[in-house]
Amino acid sequence: MQAIPHALPGLIEFVPRLFGDPRGVFYETYSARLMQEMGLPADLDWVQDNQSKSQPGVVRGLHFQHPPHAQAKLVRVAKGRALDVVVDIRRDSPTFGKHAKVELSEAKGNILFVPIGFAHGFVALEEDTLFLYKCSNYYAPPAEGGLQWNDPALGIEWGIADALVSPKDAVLPTFAELDSPF
**Which residue numbers are catalytic?**
63, 133
Contacts of residues 1-6 at CB distance under 8 Å and 24 or more positions apart, as own/partner, are 1/28, 1/31, 1/34, 1/35, 1/38, 2/38, 3/35, 3/38, 3/39, 5/39, 6/100, 6/102
Q: Which of 5, 29, 45, 139 binds ligand TDO (CB under 6 A)?
A: 139
Q: Which of 8, 58, 63, 116 binds ligand TDO (CB under 6 A)?
A: 63
Residues 104-133 that bind ligand TDO (CB under 6 A): 120-122
Other C-beta atoms within 10 Å of 149: how many? 24
Residues 24-53 that bind ligand TDO (CB under 6 A): 50, 52
Does position 60 interact with ligand TDO (CB under 6 A)? The reply is yes
CB of 35: closest distance to ligand TDO in angstroms?
19
Give whichever of 35 and 59 is closer to ligand TDO, judged by the CB atom: 59
Report how far Cα 174 is from the mean position of its chain's Cα atoms: 19
Binding site for ligand TDO (CB under 6 A): 50, 52, 60-61, 63, 120-122, 139, 166, 168
